Chain A
Amino acid sequence: MSELLKVEQVAKAMEGLGTVDAMKPNRIRVATTPAKVKEAVQRALKDLKCDHVVQIAAVDNGKSFELIYNLTGPHHTVVSILLELPRDKPEVPTASDLLPPAGLYERQIHDLLGIVFVGHPNLKRIILNEDWPENEFPMRKDWKPNPNTFYGGVHTEEAK
């Protein structure tokens, strides 16, 4: 079982992309910007020998959207690449060409938070039902279900 990555190793591989800090021995975080995310993922795949995407987490912390790419490999350390997206134009280049499973994760994030992944092969709806109204993103903090739009399910008003 190869031993955990050191913070210095990750810092050396990622220098010039962003600040590196270790929250736990096996959790190392790299804060970077949307422009450099593809470069960061590529370096993680090549230099740090990460070959498995654990998860792409998406958070709406009120002010902006945060995307966290969690990658791991035989070294069993989770390298998470964190980036912030402005609230008005959340766009980030897709990572599905580098990481095929990311295609499904990005479609799910797009459904729930409305982050546009530039260059994604088919950013169709996957997680919400077909007749969910367009550009209403339920996981956003400021989303409130207003009563008169119809969110799928039984057409209650006609049934009365």
Chain B
Amino acid sequence: MRKPGSVLKEMFENLGTRPVTILYPKEKVPIPEAFRGKIAIRDEKCIGCSKCAIVCPTQCITMVANEREVEVKGKTIVRKKKPEVELYMCIRCGLCEEYCPTDPKAIYLTNAFSGAGPDKEVVVK
């Protein structure tokens, strides 16, 4: 049966057990792999269809002119543009990853969650 909860008993139990808080910079928190973290771009997979730029809610993806052969389903095509993401405008919603037609997604969210930085206009190429 469940022991009745009393504040005093719980306090002294806690005195014995290990504390729950972790000292963040030294000890790290385990991140689930499904976590939506910092955005990243696989340049070799991108076919320049700019679907991600259209669907982005905060319009932080701009298409930049960039010629490159890309191998898609056996054929190699020359793509005209590639996406550039303004990192601190991105709200990490993952819509771009969802609408990207390439197989290993050309634009995807890693699970790096710490993203502070001094430069406001940093851009992920």
> A and B: direct contact (Cβ < 8 Å)?
no
